[in-house]
Amino acid sequence: MSNVQAIIVTWNKKNDVIHLLDQLKTINYPKNSLDVAVVDNHSTDGTVQAIETDYPWVTLIRNRENLGGAGGFNAGMRWTLENRPDAEYLWLLDNDVLVDKDALKELVAVMDKTPRAAICCSRIMDIDNRHEMIEIGAFIDYNIGNIRRNMPSPEALQNPKAVFEVDYVAACSLLARTTLVREQGVWQEKFFIYWDDMEWGARFNAAGYKVLASNASVVYHPSWAGRVADRSAVWRNYYRTRNSLWFYNNYSAGLKRRLLLARMVLQLTGIAQIIS
């Protein structure tokens, strides 16, 4: 079985991380083929102490400050590239995700049979409503400067072995091919949060590699609808706005880029709603 390095990034979510680590001990994957690393973004809730005491089999990477999702995952990926030369895949996991017992096995199966695939994600289900799908990959709309979920047909979703080719996948449960991470690089660290996984998918696609989503690999995650709708947090708005503008400025060109960025600025400042 392929060797996998799981990387979990956390900041002040001790209970969630502990729950996930307990789950990873029981998944259907050979124990000698899976190593787990937790990247702690300078938590103050006892996360580090709990892992050091009760989970000695976990590699703990301690950042001296909160580097966000981008910096955290980069720290874990760089550590793996330097210290785990036998790791064929990197499994990026949110700290508050719950994984189906076969989630990793199904991701590896897709990647093993698709050599041109750079990354593959799980089908993400709502942790509070287990029959509701949050996402199974998504597409980037270069015409209006937005994103849209992959919405397969009901027939496709009923096929447990269906695999979808998309523009990007969320790092909620994302398996990346180590050789291509070495080739294409890790995340844009300056993003801190938001658009980091989107840019990675676009980068792999631009290099001619596939970005996939597996219907057979299932994880459960809190809905992010509330966070997307929350406009009260200035820092969230800042990173969403800055990073989306950076992305489209770098992944579009010419007159189309200028028109797209102008449209996005109008939308982001609310002027579009006033004049429409």
Cβ atoms within 10 Å of 23's Cβ, excluding its own: 15
Using one digit for the tens of pLDDT, what is the confidence trace for 111-132?
A: 999 999 999 999 999 999 999 9
Q: How many CA atoms lie within 13 A of 26 on its CB side?
A: 8
User: Pick the residue with more confidence: 205 or 240?
Assistant: 205
- Chain mean pLDDT for the chain: 91
Cβ atoms within 10 Å of 69's Cβ, excluding its own: 22
Cβ atoms within 10 Å of 271's Cβ, excluding its own: 11
In our burial notation (b when 16+ CB lie closer than 10 A, e otherwise), range 214-234 reads: bbbbbbbbbeeeeeeeeeeee
pLDDT band at residue 273, thresholds of 50, 70 and 90?
Answer: very low
**For residue 254, what pLDDT is reported?**
78
Is the Cβ–Cβ distance between 204 and 117 less than 8 Å? no
List, in order, residues 6 or more apart from 85 with CB less than 8 Å away: none
Using one digit for the tens of pLDDT, what is the confidence trace for 40-50?
A: 999 999 999 99
Q: Which of 183-192, 195-204, 264-273 has the lowest mean pLDDT?
A: 264-273
Three-state secondary-structure class, residue 85: coil
At position 110, the amino acid (one-letter code) is V
Q: How many CA atoms lie within 13 A of 258 on its CB side?
A: 2
What residues pair up with 210 in beta bridges, in sequence order? 117
pLDDT(80) > 90:
yes
pLDDT band at residue 271, thresholds of 50, 70 and 90?
Answer: very low
What residues pair up with 36 in beta bridges, in sequence order? 6
Q: How far apart are CA 116 and CA 249, in angstroms?
A: 27
Q: Is the pTM of this model over 0.85?
A: yes
Q: Which of 20-24, 78-82, 91-95, 143-147 has the lowest mean pLDDT?
A: 143-147
Three-state secondary-structure class, residue 227: helix
What residues pair up with 60 in beta bridges, in sequence order? 38
Mean pLDDT across 230-248 = 80
pLDDT band at residue 226, thresholds of 50, 70 and 90?
Answer: low
Structure tokens at 45: 């809730």
pLDDT(211) > 50:
yes
**For residue 181, what pLDDT is reported?**
98
Strands 163-165 and 210-221: antiparallel
